[in-house]
Structure 1
């Protein structure tokens, strides 16, 4: 049941990361908010990996072409997914933007079964579908009839990008001949290092104001990076142990934390239907753990 612990850790930290990114997006452009997620994450990932080797010394990873392809694909998709989520924050309120991105679980189930050989039990499929219904309820503006097509499309694109990231992360981890949790930590370090390098080069060449904007908000930038990295440790570890659709469906408990943060800190209004969606997410999480 270790994957359940790591999933709850990831969901809790990701809810805070999204909140910090939402605050940054008010003053920093999309590239800057995306970079804030990674800029301090690499040192944290290195410290985590070193700590694992001190705790349990093992060999170094053997890097294959297949592993490299999965890592590069995951790195690119996560950058795209993060940028799309920031755009969601600018279109709607914080809680709804995060809810739309959680379509990732349903998309991951479909892509996983079709392309990655993922197997889900009957209860698992029911849990994933209920979770999908819940996140679509959170995405509605004033009822199902008033759903914005552009917002739904952007939310699904964001969810699909996150889903591919997760599926490729799991494949990369399974391609390393190392024990858990070292293999997940190596994948995390490679992915974050690539993403940080790409975004720093982009910001230096195309948008120098991005770095200046982050430097003017050091505390918020550090909090975004730290919560993002700790959350990624949880996600990468859980996905090394369990199929992505199960992890991501259980990970929808993040919405509990998200709505609490949105209500108590960001002062967003939570509607009755949001509470119903939370109940459905709870049912989905129970079904996934039971299955």
Structure 2
């Protein structure tokens, strides 16, 4: 098995955990505060990871260059905007369709990978990505009203546009992170990914802290007050991000983000086995489509 595959699955699991914690905190912190804790509380763990690779693992620290700085900064800003939009979706009563659209990220990541890196995917991979996105959309829409008029209105409403924009910024950030990591040119994929993650997280923390101090100081204070659970958000977030950065250093963004759709399978499994929630036919069908898409993606390689 190629190494990027288990790393991506691990990252998807961590992201699922982080999202659950982040959604829990949104009521106490608001959109900006819930977005900030992902980066602000994640940076110390990212720094510990780099230090461990350097001191214990014996990896040399990479040399920073202009391409790395530009790609890391652009990716960092894009991820801030994408995370803010995604968290903001939960403010809408009919956020389900928007969330479904936000899951079109693998398609948009493939486009940005083509634009920024000149990377294309095989026909089998393109089909797998499309099938996986269809499965995710089915799961996301499974519990929406069956009234076609309401569904049609939701498909072009404000939450839908926010979801599409969130996916676009997530796709752009993922491709930019691969550019940044590869721009370092060594001393090994683990250190390249870890160093990129630490630099990006530091940049995001500074940018958001300055913005909040200027525009929303109460949100900044609230994020510090709720540090006990925010620390766990930061840990889960940086563990997932370390997985994403490492996987995207090893493999094209389109493949990594397509496999990452397994996160929805994790979510349904937890709902079913842990919380004993019922899963309807549309959710089950969507889950099967995602699994089929992942198998097609991996077998096609």
Per the TM superposition, whether the score is higher than 0.5 is yes
* Counterpart position of 2:128: 127
User: Partners of 2:25 and 2:270 in 1: how far apart?
Assistant: 15
* Change over 3 Å in CA distance of 1:281–1:143 after alignment to 2: farther
Q: Deviations over 1:164-186 (max 9, x none)?
A: 00000001111112111110111
Matched, 1:116 2:124: no
Query: Alpha-carbon deviation of 1:111?
Result: 2.8
Deviation at 1:265, TM superposition (A): 7.3
Between 1:109-118 and 1:93-102, the stretch displaced more is 93-102
Aligned-residue offset at 1:92: 5.2
Deviation at 1:270, TM superposition (A): 4.4
- Aligned to 1:181, what secondary structure does the other structure show? helix
Query: Is the CA contact (8 Å cut-off) linking 2:98 and 2:162 kept in structure 1?
Result: no
> Taking structure 1 as reference, are residues 71 and 268 closer, same or farther at Cα in structure 2, changes over 3 Å only?
farther
Shift, 1:74, TM fit:
0.4
Moved more, 166-175 or 91-100: 91-100
- Looking at structure 1, the residues matched to 114 and 280 of structure 2 have their Cα atoms a distance apart, in angstroms, of 34
Q: How far apart are 1:227 and its partner, in Å?
A: 0.7
Deviation at 1:97, TM superposition (A): 6.3
The CA deviation string for residues 225-265 of structure 1, in whole angstroms up to 9 with x for no partner, is 11111000000000000000100010000011223445677
Q: Which stretch of the first structure deviates more once superposed, 233-242 or 90-99?
A: 90-99
Q: Which runs of 5+ in 2 are unaligned?
A: none
Match of 2:145 among 117, 136, 142: 142
User: How far apart are the structure 2 equivalents of 1:98 and 1:16?
Assistant: 17
Residues 1:156 and 2:164 aligned together: yes
8 Å contact kept, 2:128–2:294:
yes
Number of equivalent positions = 291
TM-score (norm 2): 0.89
**Does residue 176 of structure 2 align to residue 173 of structure 1?**
no
Does 1:23 find its partner at 2:28? no
The aligned residue for residue 203 of structure 1 is 212
Q: CA RMSD in A?
A: 2.3
Q: Is the 8 A contact 1:98 1:258 kept in 2?
A: no
1:83-106 Cα deviation digits (max 9, x unpaired): 011012222589876554221101
Q: Residues 115 and 72 of structure 1: is their aligned pair in 2 closer, same or farther, counting only changes over 3 Å?
A: closer
In 2, Cα distance between equivalents of 1:263 and 1:157:
31
> Is the Cα–Cα contact under 8 Å of residues 98 and 160 in structure 2 kept in the other structure?
no
Q: Please give the residue correspondences for 1:243-262 in structure 2 after superposition, counting only pairs within 5 Å.
A: 243-261=252-270
Q: For each residue in 1:61-88, what CA deviation from the matched residue of structure 2 results, as whole angstroms up to 9, or x when unmatched?
A: 2222111110000010000010011012
1:286 to 274, 277, 295: 295
